[in-house]
């Protein structure tokens, strides 16, 4: 071992900064929190290159006098707490006095601020740890923090930043998230010359959801409001059977602080499990209010998580609030027994039957292992016996019985077809007679921007109509108009993640899933025979494009064993 040394402040500051400032969105988050803590009514965010070149946050909050402005960059300098006991009752978003020093350590900062009392406002120019200049300026009450060249002195960090579009996407997501908690304030976001978000003050969360997501989302939500003892849950949550195919639209707030929380999320998903189709999850905006002393916000470096003194209580509170909201929706007075009544009301699709057969290789089926491909000339003597539970197709074969999931099977068949069309680049197109109008949230609009070419290649042509409105002008022939619109919106969500490695495959898989027959659909014998035949023509017929199995097999030998037949009875 080398000898131990105490790191010089230039290095230790950078290490500490790493805890707070990971990427542009962390800077935006800390600065917006400061503006909110300073009681600002208007918060304006400007960015260049996804925040990598420049982030400027301007507010009309309480501002600072010269002395405080200079102090604010010192580590652990804060106006928000002063005694140890204060940590048990934190009402502000910030409290550690770490954000400004951390941001300052890894960028070039210009702070302009005025508390409206002092004659001269203050401007401070910094570069890393060095103060370059302190100036008297004229400035209205409020604060502007401009952060340039993030990580200019930390190339290792800079290397890990993603594309402008990706960094911007995270910032849009964060601002959407936080602005939902403060509908009474104005938030705006400008990227380069483009205004991406502009939310003037509104009177309620409902209106803020409308501003950000439009009418279509609001229509799928029900209001939640439940109070018990000292806790209260408010917000909006999916009205079954509405839901979405992933959990990305589940936003939680504790005392108006945006948080990620396993307990809240777990409770939400547990209660919805009985009310939504198998692959759907609730969309939810859940605001939990608790006494400040019952929540520890000092548990996560970026304050993104909290700890509850009684998590069981919090869990129950969420469950009860959703139950109550559902009952209210259906006009049902009595609270218990909830589940049976509600399930009947919402006509829940039947549960997936528990697998009665053993799947070799624990669910991971190799096509070859299960179904050694018949040699070319040999006809696979399969015969469709019928449909089971309007969900499965039962097929007999020399060596046993096959049970096919009709949706997954059709999905695989369509996927191969679409792939063929896609390779030939001949997606049939249909002009929309009446352009199909819809509204996009800021993050959906971004997704459209980055995926437009791909979507156009697949036959979806969209035109901007100003503001958040867009029109679908052309779509693939295989869809009805309304269906095309829904699928298009779904694709936008699917392709939001920049990381998705093969977007094209994903797009085709989604199209296949959306157009395939569903579980619960009655199929004629001809249809089943056609489907089985088409399926066995595909190369990979044991897994659907999403990787779910298509077929289970009951071996003839197993049947014989179970029925105590000698194997060669015939």
Q: Which of residues 13, 26, 58, 143 is near ligand ADP by CB under 6 A?
A: 143
Residues in binding contact with ligand ADP, number by CB under 6 A: 23
Q: How far is the CB of 552 from ligand ADP (least distance, A)?
A: 57
The residue (of 63 and 476) whose beta carbon lies closer to ligand ADP is: 63
Closest CA to 369 of 549, 531, 560, 528: 549
The residue (of 46 and 98) whose beta carbon lies closer to Mg ion is: 98
Q: How far apart are CA 488 and CA 486, in angstroms?
A: 5
**Does 337 sit behind a cis peptide bond, omega within 30 degrees of 0 on the bond before it?**
yes
The residue (of 120 and 561) whose beta carbon lies closer to ligand ADP is: 120
Task: Return the DSSP state at 336.
Answer: S
**Contacted by 143, from Mg ion, ligand ADP, none: CB < 5 to 8 Å by type:** ligand ADP
Q: Which of residues 28, 62, 395, 413 is near ligand ADP by CB under 6 A?
A: 62
The C-alpha angle 340, 342, 348, rounded to 5 degrees, equals 90
Task: Return the DSSP state at 51.
Answer: G
Query: Is residue 510 near Mg ion by the rule CB under 5 A?
Result: no
Radius of gyration, CA atoms only, the chain: 29
Query: Is residue 550 near ligand ADP by the rule CB under 6 A?
Result: no
Contacts of Mg ion in 32-71 (CB under 5 A): 34
The residue (of 35 and 238) whose beta carbon lies closer to Mg ion is: 35
Contacts of ligand ADP in 191-250 (CB under 6 A): none
Please choose, out of 29-37, 196-204, 223-231, 368-376, the segment that lies near ligand ADP by the rule CB under 6 A: 29-37
The C-alpha angle 16, 27, 131, rounded to 5 degrees, equals 65
CA separation (Å) from 5 to 253, 363, 480? 43, 54, 70
Q: Which of residues 13, 49, 72, 123 is near ligand ADP by CB under 6 A?
A: 72
Pattern 371-410, binding to ligand ADP, x per CB under 6 A? ----------------------------------------
Please choose, out of 31-39, 322-330, 472-480, 483-491, the segment that lies near ligand ADP by the rule CB under 6 A: 31-39
Q: Which of residues 97, 169, 231, 476 is near ligand ADP by CB under 6 A?
A: 97
388-409: burial string, b at 16+ Cβ within 10 Å, e else? eeebbbbbeeeebbbbbbbbbb
Q: How far is the CB of 279 from ligand ADP (least distance, A)?
A: 42
DSSP H or E segment with residue 186:
strand 186-191
Contacts of Mg ion in 92-111 (CB under 5 A): 94, 99
Q: How far is the CB of 354 from ligand ADP (least distance, A)?
A: 52
Residue of closest CB approach to Mg ion: 94
Q: How far is the CB of 100 from Mg ion (least distance, A)?
A: 7
Q: How far apart are CA 376 and CA 540, in angstroms?
A: 16
The residue (of 63 and 183) whose beta carbon lies closer to ligand ADP is: 63
**Torsion of the alpha carbons at 318, 323, 329 and 332, rounded to the nearest 10:** -150
Handedness of CA 537, 541, 544, 550 (dihedral sign): positive
The residue (of 255 and 387) whose beta carbon lies closer to Mg ion is: 255
240-249: burial string, b at 16+ Cβ within 10 Å, e else? bebbbeeeeb
Contacts of ligand ADP in 100-139 (CB under 6 A): 100
Q: How far is the CB of 84 from ligand ADP (least distance, A)?
A: 16
Count CA within 13 A, CB hemisphere, residue 9. 8
**Contacted by 38, from ligand ADP, Mg ion, none: CB < 5 to 8 Å by type:** ligand ADP
Contacts of ligand ADP in 34-53 (CB under 6 A): 34-35, 37-38
**β-strand pairing of 221-228 with 130-137:** unpaired
- Where helices occur in 395-480 by DSSP H, the ranges are 406-424, 442-457
Task: Return the DSSP state at 230.
Answer: T
- Where helices occur in 243-310 by DSSP H, the ranges are 262-273
- Where helices occur in 425-555 by DSSP H, the ranges are 442-457, 481-494, 503-515, 525-537
The residue (of 39 and 270) whose beta carbon lies closer to ligand ADP is: 39
Q: How far is the CB of 145 from ligand ADP (least distance, A)?
A: 7
The residue (of 117 and 377) whose beta carbon lies closer to ligand ADP is: 117
Residue of closest CB approach to ligand ADP: 94
What DSSP string describes 124-183? EEEETTEEEEEEEE---SEEEEEEESTTTT-HHHHHT---HHHHHHHHHHHHHHHHHH-T
The residue (of 76 and 522) whose beta carbon lies closer to Mg ion is: 76
Q: How far is the CB of 69 from ligand ADP (least distance, A)?
A: 8
Question: Do residues 524 and 390 lie in contact, with contact meaning Cβ atoms separated by under 8 Å?
Answer: no
DSSP H or E segment with residue 474:
strand 469-476
Please choose, out of 86-94, 203-211, 399-407, 413-421, the segment that lies near Mg ion by the rule CB under 5 A: 86-94
The residue (of 146 and 439) whose beta carbon lies closer to Mg ion is: 146
Residues in contact with ligand ADP by the rule CB under 6 A? 30, 34-35, 37-38, 59, 61-64, 72, 77-80, 94-100, 143
Residues in contact with Mg ion by the rule CB under 5 A? 34, 94, 99
């Amino acid at each position: 071992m080398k000898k131990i040394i105490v790191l010089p402040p230039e290095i230790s500051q950078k290490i500490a900064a790493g805890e707070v400032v990971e990427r542009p969105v962390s800077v935006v988050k800390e600065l917006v929190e400061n503006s909110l803590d300073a009681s600002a009514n208007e918060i304006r965010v400007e960015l260049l290159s996804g925040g990598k070149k420049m982030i400027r946050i301007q507010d009309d909050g309480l501002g600072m006098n010269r002395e405080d402005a200079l102090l604010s960059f010192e580590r652990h300098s804060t106006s928000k707490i002063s005694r140890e006991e204060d940590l048990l009752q934190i009402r502000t978003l910030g409290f550690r006095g770490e954000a400004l020093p951390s941001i300052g350590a890894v960028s070039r900062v210009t702070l302009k601020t005025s508390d409206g009392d002092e004659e001269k406002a203050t401007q401070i120019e910094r570069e890393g740890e060095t103060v370059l200049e302190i100036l008297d300026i004229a400035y209205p009450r409020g604060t502007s923090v401009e952060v340039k060249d993030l990580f200019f002195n930390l190339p290792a960090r800079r290397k890990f930043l993603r594309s402008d579009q990706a960094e911007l996407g995270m910032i849009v997501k964060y601002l959407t998230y936080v602005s939902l908690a403060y509908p009474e304030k104005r938030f705006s976001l400008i990227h380069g010359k483009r205004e991406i978000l502009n939310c003037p003050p509104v009177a309620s969360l409902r209106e803020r959801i409308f501003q950000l997501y439009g009418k279509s989302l609001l229509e799928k939500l029900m209001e939640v409001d439940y109070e018990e003892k000292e806790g209260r849950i408010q917000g909006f949550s999916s009205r079954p059977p509405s839901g979405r195919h992933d959990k990305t639209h589940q936003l939680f707030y504790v005392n108006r602080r945006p948080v990620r929380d396993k307990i809240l999320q777990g409770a939400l998903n547990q209660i919805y499990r009985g009310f939504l189709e198998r692959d759907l999850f609730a969309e939810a905006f859940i605001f939990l209010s608790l006494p400040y002393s019952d929540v520890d916000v000092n548990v996560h470096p970026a304050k993104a998580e909290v700890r509850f003194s009684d998590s069981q209580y919090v869990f129950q509170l969420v469950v009860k609030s959703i139950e109550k909201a559902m009952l209210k929706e259906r006009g049902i007075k009595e609270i218990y027994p909830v589940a049976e009544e509600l399930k009947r009301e919402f006509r829940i699709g039947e549960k997936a039957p528990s697998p009665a057969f053993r799947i070799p290789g624990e669910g991971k089926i190799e096509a070859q292992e299960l179904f050694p491909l018949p040699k070319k000339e040999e006809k696979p003597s399969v015969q469709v016996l019928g449909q089971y539970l309007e969900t499965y197709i039962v097929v007999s074969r020399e060596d046993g019985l096959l049970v096919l999931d009709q949706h997954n099977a059709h999905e695989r068949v369509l996927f191969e077809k679409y792939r063929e069309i896609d390779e030939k680049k001949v997606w049939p197109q249909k002009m929309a007679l009446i352009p199909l109008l819809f509204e996009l949230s800021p993050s959906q609009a971004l997704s459209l921007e980055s995926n437009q070419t791909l979507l156009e290649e697949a036959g979806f042509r969209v035109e901007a109509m100003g503001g958040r409105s867009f029109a679908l002008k052309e779509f693939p022939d295989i869809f009805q108009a309304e269906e095309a619109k829904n699928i298009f919106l779904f694709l936008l969500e699917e392709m939001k993640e920049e990381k998705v490695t093969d977007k094209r495959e994903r797009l085709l898989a989604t199209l296949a899933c959306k157009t395939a027959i569903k579980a619960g659909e009655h199929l004629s014998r001809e249809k089943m025979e056609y489907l089985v035949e088409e399926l066995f023509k595909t190369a990979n017929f044991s897994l659907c494009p999403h990787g779910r199995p298509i077929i289970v097999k009951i071996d003839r030998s197993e049947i014989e064993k179970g029925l105590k037949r000698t194997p060669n009875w015939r």
